[in-house]
Structure formats: C-alpha cells, structure tokens
Amino acid sequence: MTAPNRRINAETVDFDQLWRDPYPTFARLRATNPVAFVPQADHYFITRFDDIAHIERHPAIFRASEPRSLVNRVMGHSFMRKDDEEHMVERKIVAPSFSPAAAKKVWSDTFREIAADLLDDLQDRGSADLVADFATPMAARSLCTVTGLTNIAWQDIARWSQALMDAVQNYARDPELARLGQEASDGIDAAIDAMIPVRRANPDRSILSMMLAGDMPLDSIRANLKVIIGGGQNEPRDANSGLIWALLSNPDQLSAVKADPSLWLRGFEEYVRWVSPIGMYPRTVGQETELAGVPLKPGDRLFLLVGSANRDEAQFRDPDRFDLHREESRHLAFGSGPHFCAGAWVARAQVADIAVPMLFERLKNLELDDSGEPARCGGWAFRGLLTLPARWSA
C-alpha cells in the first residue's frame, strides 16, 4: 500500500467554526484524515489519541524545541520548548514547588484562604459571573503565591497572562497584540528583578526561590516564569469555571459528588478530558518517520490536538458526554511524556480539593442564571468558558 502524500492528506479547516465548536471538525478529521496537513496553519493536525500517545512516547523523534517560534520570541527560551538534558535540568530545579506534597502541605492553606475570601464577598451578592468574579481571581491570586511574585497585583498577573497567550498566537502579526505581549513581558521582568533580593533573603517553596537555590541563569528564570504565568492562569481558571458549569448542567452528577467527596477529583479529571483547557500544543519532527501511514520529515511541524484525542471514540465510550463515572480515566489534558504538565498537582489541589467544593458548600441553591445571556464557551487551542452567569440564595 502506498502512503498518502501531502496533497492527498491536505485539509482545509474553518478556524471560526473551530473556535466556536471544534468537536465536529475534530470528529471528521479523526475519522477521515487523522494526520492532516493544514496549509493555512502550515502544520499537521494530529487528532487521534493513539497517535498523540505514540508521539509523546518518542521524544527523540518528536521534539518540543521550536527555535524560531513566536513563543520563544515573546517569552524567551523556556524549558517547555527545550529537550533532553537541557529540559530536565531546569524542570528538576522547580520540581519541589510542584510536587504533590507541596500542593497539599504548602499551597493548600493559601488556596483555602483565597477561596474563603472570594466567597465571603460573593455570598451576599446572590448572583455573579463566576468566570470574572471567582475563577479568574482564584487562579491569579494562587499563581502569585506559587510563583513567589507576590509583588504583582492579581489583576495584573491575569491581564499579563492573557496578553502573553494572545501574543504567542499572534500569527497575523497584529501590532497591538505584540505591544501588549511586550508590555506584559517587561512588567514580569521588573517584578522578578524586584523579588530576587526578597526571595534570596527569605527563601520559601515558591518557584522563584527554587530557581535561585538551583542557580538558574536569569534568562531562564525570566522565560520559565513567563511560561508558568501563561499556563498557570487560564487553565486552572477554565477548569474551575468549567467544572462548576458541568456539574450545574448535570444535577444527578452534582448530587453524586456531594454525597461522595472523593468524586471531586474524578469530576475535575473528567471535565479536563471533556473540554481540555489546552486543546493543542506543538511538536516538531526531528528525524524521518511515519505516523498512521503518513511519511514525515525533519522540520515538519505538528499540532497535537489533545482536545480531539480526549474525545476519541476509539478510547472513550460516548466521548461527547460529561460523565464522571466513566471507567476509562486516562486522558491527555495534561500532555504526556517528559513535558507532562508540571502544575497538574497544584491545579488539582486548587480547583478539585478546594475552590469548587467550597463554592458549592457556601453558595446555597446555586444554579445557572438563564435570565440573560447563557454561559458561553470559546476556543480550540485553548478552550474555556467566557462567562458563567449564576445565582444563589443570598
């Protein structure tokens, strides 16, 4: 059998449609063209679970480095875009801030204080947009603590995180997005410079403290903290608001979680499978290879669409349904292999152990507020709720 060539597996994709609702396109690609070359993006779209798992099992062939990428230009050369020893050295330095023990014993008390403080304010209001008024400040204030950049206001870290994410996807070279990205990058550099002497004098378990203890070069400290601010804000925010939305939309599953608190974590994992906050991340082919019968050569660029893989019907029964009781629990929402999300345990502690259970406990008779605009979701590379109007008994 001859392998299909690029012309045969080229595919046109409607990016507006993808942003609104990517799942029909993902299903079509999985069924008909799972390694599809999309000329508009100059990348192959990899949509099946097994193919992405294969890629992540072979980091010598499929590389995370992208020397000429926008992400490197905007944030600098972070460990997320390095390979092998170069990646491992820096990842090991920050590991103590991210361990399950740090998440439970060091960060959870602060996460609890932040959630309680936000809910004290919300409780008497009776209604709010839970994206803007709960999930966003919860993620941002947590991130200031974990990074060690406690000199940044939560509103700034949230805004800068968004500006960095917009700038790294600014393929159309919009000058305003580039300017906002630069402003965010400069603001973060200034905050790091100001906090270095503070953390040297008073070391703690924060990421900046670990970087200083590990003698990480300043360029790497800056690039790595930017990647952490980019990834550590929107994803827990989206998992937080998304899990609330999924449970309010499925009252039987909400009752099950309330009756058995061990299910909060399953609900969280099922939500990030169902609507993966990072729906796509890139890899570059490092040596000649073949994927699902498609020949690939060095320099070919791939988008790993985990948002599609996590809905792969070959892997999950009834994949479009949110079902925290499902038996198949292995998903790719945190990636896989050497770059598996460093912040997974921190996100689980923040969202599944603390923020969402406390919200349901404190806001009595919580329900979706359908009196105006309904909750809205958007995105495919990053996907989450844009708004979550809700009300409760004040």
Round to whole Å and give the CA distance between 181 and 179: 5
Among the residue ranges 19-27, 120-128, 333-341, 352-360, the one whose residues contact ligand HEM (CB under 6 A)? 333-341
First to last CA, the chain: 67
Checking phi first, is residue 42 left (phi over 0); if not, alpha (psi -120 to 50) or beta? Answer: left
Q: Please report whether residue 333 would count as binding ligand HEM according to CB under 6 A.
A: yes
Under the criterion CB under 6 A, does residue 80 sit at the interface with ligand HEM? yes
Our finding on whether 385 is near ligand HEM (CB under 6 A) is: no
* CA pair distance 368, 155, nearest whole angstrom: 25
Q: Which of 370, 259, 252 is nearest to 322 (CA)?
A: 252
The verdict on 271 binding ligand HEM (CB under 6 A) reads no
Least distance from ligand HEM to the Cβ atom of residue 81, Å: 8
Least distance in angstroms from the C-beta of 302 to ligand HEM: 11
Task: Supply the minimum distance, in Å, between the C-beta of residue 266 and ligand HEM.
Answer: 14
Residue nearest to ligand HEM (CB): 343
What is the pattern of x (binds ligand HEM, CB under 6 A) and - over residues 34-73?
----------------------------------------
**Sign of the CA dihedral with 156 first, then 162, 165, and 171 last:** negative
Q: Which of 292, 248, 247 is nearest to 55 (CA)?
A: 292
DSSP at 338: G
User: Does residue 324 belong to the site contacting ligand HEM (CB under 6 A)?
Assistant: no
Interface with ligand HEM (CB under 6 A), residue from 13, 122, 263, 346: 346
| Binding piece for ligand HEM, criterion CB under 6 A, among 26-34, 120-128, 173-181, 332-340 | 332-340
Within 136-155, which residues bind ligand HEM (CB under 6 A)? Answer: 143, 146
d(CA 161, CA 363): 29
Check residue 102 for interaction with ligand HEM (CB under 6 A): no
Q: Could you say whether residue 352 binds ligand HEM (CB under 6 A)?
A: no
Among 37, 281, 316, 380, binds ligand HEM (CB under 6 A): 281
By CB under 6 A, residue 199 contacts ligand HEM: no
CB of 165 to ligand HEM, least distance (A): 12
User: Count of H helices and E strands in the chain?
Assistant: 19, 12
Instruction: Supply the minimum distance, in Å, between the C-beta of residue 229 and ligand HEM.
Output: 8
Answer for the pair 143, 131: CB distance below 8 angstroms, yes or no: no
Backbone φ and ψ of 282, nearest 5°: -95, 160
Restricting to residues 229-248, name those near ligand HEM by CB under 6 A: 231-232, 235-236, 239
Site string for ligand HEM, 153-192 (x = CB under 6 A): ----------------------------------------
**334 binding ligand HEM? (CB under 6 A):** yes
Q: Applying CB under 6 A, does 228 fall inside the site for ligand HEM?
A: yes
Burial class of 175 by CB neighbour count within 10 A (0 to 12, 13 to 18, 19+): exposed
Number of residues that bind ligand HEM (CB under 6 A): 25
Q: Is 222 in the site for ligand HEM (CB under 6 A)?
A: no
Contacting residues for 238 by C-beta, under 8 A, at least 6 apart: 135, 275, 277, 382, 383, 384, 385
Tokens 């020397």 correspond to: 67
Ordered DSSP codes for 38-92: ETTTTEEEE--HHHHHHHHH-TTTEE---TT-HHHHHH-S-GGG--HHHHHHHHH
DSSP 297-329: -TT-EEEE-HHHHTT-TTTSSSTTS--TT-S--
Which residue ranges make up the site for ligand HEM (CB under 6 A)?
79-80, 91, 143, 146, 227-228, 231-232, 235-236, 239, 272, 277-278, 281, 333-335, 339, 341-343, 346-347
